[in-house]
Amino acid sequence: MTTSLSKLSQFGVLAVLCFELAGCATSGHTELSSKEAHVPISFSRSVRDEKGDIVKLDDLQTVGRFKSTLVSWSIFYNLVGLSSKKDLSEEINSYVGKTGGEALINTSITNGTCFFASVPVLSILPFWPSCSIMTVNADVVSRKSVAEKGMKK
């Protein structure tokens, strides 16, 4: 009986370590969108104009740096999202309008785990909330000809 209990406890410790190392309960789930953004958003250094032509990089100037950070929460090993959808359109439109930009380029999304979500042992419990921190960064750009016209007014 002692031997089987000892093996059972060893298995339990091993299972806890596997859950912790695999990170299966250490992040939230959120779907990001920008469906109502008034400007094009590009993950590369290029962007297209109204005609669909690629604007030369030499014709663009950076007028700002967009950054948005949000925390995503879930429970039951990510099966139940508590903050499942986030539309950044309003935030993008507001910031781009203030800077006089025409597009976002070099857009990146980074994701990291909250400390709260990776508390040893507790994070394997299904009701323990998990979370992740997402950061969206982008360069706000305008065509040099458009920016120069705005300065002359």
pLDDT tens track for 97-140: 999 999 999 999 998 877 666 666 666 676 677 777 889 999 99
CATH number reported for the structural domain that contains residue 49 in this entry: 3.30.110.70
Joined together, the tokens standing for residue 83 give 């903050």
Number of compact structural domains in the chain: 1
Residues sharing a CB contact under 8 Å with residue 1, sequence separation 6 or more, in sequence order: none
> Is residue 77 included in any domain, yes or no?
yes
The reported pLDDT for the residue numbered 101 is 95
How far is Cα 37 from Cα 9, in angstroms, rounded to an integer?
A: 54
Confidence (pTM):
0.69
Q: How far is CA 85 from CA 53, 95, 146, in A?
A: 32, 20, 34
100: containing domain: 25-152
> Is residue 3 included in any domain, yes or no?
no
For 70-109, what is each residue's pLDDT tens digit? 888 777 766 666 666 788 999 999 999 999 999 999 999 9
Residue with tokens 């297209």: 48
